[in-house]
Chain A
Amino acid sequence: MTGFALLQAVLAASAEAPAGGSGPGPGAVIGWGAGVLGVLGAALGLLLYVASRAFAIKTDPKVDEILAALPGANCGGCGLAGCAAYAETLVKSGGAVNLCGPGGTAAAAKIAAILGVAFDSADRRVSVLACRGTAQFAPAKYEYSGVRDCRAAALVHDGPKACRWGCLGLGTCAAACPFGAISMGADGLAHVAEELCMACSKCVTVCPRSLFRLASEKQTVRVACASHDPGKETNRVCKVGCIACRRCEKSCKFEAIKVVENLAAIDYGKCKNCGACVKVCPRGIIVNWRAARKARKARAADSSPAQEPAEAAS
């Protein structure tokens, strides 16, 4: 309030000038106006300066820098409550810099530069569904009536699908995807549009069957089944489920694929994406994803609305 007192003093000293006569001339008005504004500006500036000192908060500039490098989608894909929380955690306690799905590799590289840590620019990750049990191949065990949500349906006798590992097809993942990358196909399965996927992992957490996982784009050979049931039981409920026949295991030259708990599993540390297992799998559930994508694109170009054939064949 020193500014205000100063102003009063100035005013008191010059009070008689404009007050006398019928009114100030144009020159005087401009002069007084400039003076008042100047003094006021100076006083308020001083006030703000003092206040900024008195109420100063120490913030790490790195947090703001990282925040600027993040896309600001606040999707929570990193597992924290929004971008600000991620930035703060990175600065305070460190952690992996590539957890931001929407920001992708670019954001990760920027964050790594800001924090001065090394970052192997890993390739893009996308969400993949580990089930090919369409309504045709994996029938329902009952007619379901209720909330159209997989998590709700799973509460009623484990969901309508006879296979207790398979995709329920009620679209909870599609509703949860903030980027519109998942759509429910007419075949009763969720389909991920890889180009739209930001790897936020919302679908991974929301699927009651945990059928999604974030896979590196490099890992082109993938197992599209999640059933740990023994072969006989799987065969009863699904025509395209892993029956643990171990043919893939035998076909692999790199010992990269093993049947563990009745389900083929690929060790990507050893896998060379040769595709030998894809060829031998009798159920067509080991998928060469790149080939499948090519086939799908070709089909899209043909714009034929045909049902998805076995992608693995290609």
Chain B
Amino acid sequence: MDYLRLFFGVIFVTNFVLAQFLGLCPFLGVSRKQSSAMGMGVAVIFVMTLASVVCHLLLRHVLTPLGLEGFLQVSVFILVIAALVQFVEMVIKKSSPGLYMALGIYLPLITTNCAVLGVAALNSANGFADPKQFGAIDGLLRATVQGAGGGVGFMLGMYLMSSIREDMEGAPYPPSLKGFPIAFVITASMALAFLGFSGML
């Protein structure tokens, strides 16, 4: 039950894009087409889950025992995430060139996707790596669930966003709003809607 609440909480209530405004760069950049939005979503789920797990393990089993969790975690997280994303990029480039083309320059952007760093930091802030609060397995599972849920929430936002942007392709909104500006307006509207979930769970 706790895992479920954690999972759905991070999808709806503390949605990374629509409630915490993290990872907006790929969110706006790749949400023009539903297909590439879904591809990006899958990539983010993968990276976020993996980053959660790896960062959690490092934090719990390396940094905390060494007493370094306070000041070193952000640097370590960045290092790990950057390496992971490059790794994923290579894998995708090799295994699915079409997806690679669709994701374009935004895949490397996951490197600097604050949502990924955000989920690692959130895991840390929730104390999942603190032996006093959570058991080893419990903490790892929670970090994993939160990471995966964060990714799913990101993908949900991407999916909704891309459905709207695909529909408005070619619509005569003011030329000064073309591209990112109108996307920001849509994001804001969706964020307003997602306010409805606040306070739940």
Contacts and interface: CB of A to CB of B under 8 A. Distances in A.
Q: Do chains A and B touch in the complex (CB under 8 A)?
A: yes
Interface in B17-70: 58, 62-63, 65-68
Interface in B129-156: none
A19 B65 CA distance: 7
A44 B85 CA distance: 11
B71 A33 contact: yes
Contacts of B94: 55-57
A41 interface: yes
Contact of A32 (B68, B79, B91, B93): B68
B201 to A, nearest CB: 35
B90 A29 contact: no
A33 B65 contact: no
Interface stretch (A45-53, A201-209, A292-300): A45-53
B189 interface: no
B112 to A, nearest CB: 16
A11 interface: yes
A44 B80 contact: yes
Interface residues of B, number: 21
Contact of B93 (A18, A45, A55): A55
Interface string A239-264: 00000000000000000000000000
A47 B65 contact: no
Nearest to A11: B62
B182 interface: no
B83 A47 contact: yes
Nearest to A24: B67
A20 B96 CA distance: 50
B87 A47 contact: yes
A5 interface: no
Given A18-B66, A18-B67, A37 B76 contact: yes
Contact of B87 (A24, A41, A48, A56): A48
A40 B63 CA distance: 12
A36 interface: yes
Given A18-B67, A55-B91, A57-B94, A36 B62 contact: yes
A23 B79 CA distance: 25
B126 interface: no
A37 B90 contact: no
A15 interface: yes
Interface string B97-124: 0000100000000000000000000000
Contacts of A41: 79
A83 B95 CA distance: 23
Interface residues of A, number: 24
B174 to A, nearest CB: 15
A7 interface: yes
Contacts of A40: 58, 76, 79-80
Contact of A52 (B65, B68, B72, B90): B90
B86 interface: yes
Nearest to B57: A4
B62 A15 contact: no
B75 interface: yes
Given A37-B75, A52-B90, A32 B66 contact: yes
A51 B68 contact: no
Given A52-B90, A55-B91, A57-B94, A37 B65 contact: no
B158 to A, nearest CB: 22
Contacts of A51: 86-87, 90-91
Contacts of A37: 72, 75-76, 79
B72 A33 contact: yes
Contacts of B58: 40
A29 B68 contact: yes
A4 B132 CA distance: 25
A108 B91 CA distance: 35
Nearest to A23: B67
Interface in A32-80: 32-33, 36-37, 40-41, 44-45, 47-48, 51-52, 55-57
Given A32-B68, A36-B76, A55-B90, 12 more contacts: A18-B67, A29-B71, A36-B62, A36-B72, A40-B58, A44-B80, A44-B83, A45-B83, A48-B87, A51-B90, A56-B94, A57-B94
30 contacts: A11-B65, A11-B66, A19-B65, A23-B67, A24-B66, A24-B67, A29-B68, A29-B71, A32-B67, A33-B68, A36-B62, A36-B66, A36-B68, A36-B72, A37-B76, A40-B58, A40-B76, A44-B79, A44-B80, A47-B87, A48-B86, A51-B86, A51-B90, A55-B90, A55-B91, A55-B93, A56-B94, A57-B93, A57-B94, A84-B101
Q: Which 10 A-B residue pairs are closest in the complex by CB-CB distance?
A: A44-B83, A55-B94, A55-B90, A33-B72, A51-B90, A32-B66, A18-B66, A51-B87, A24-B67, A33-B68
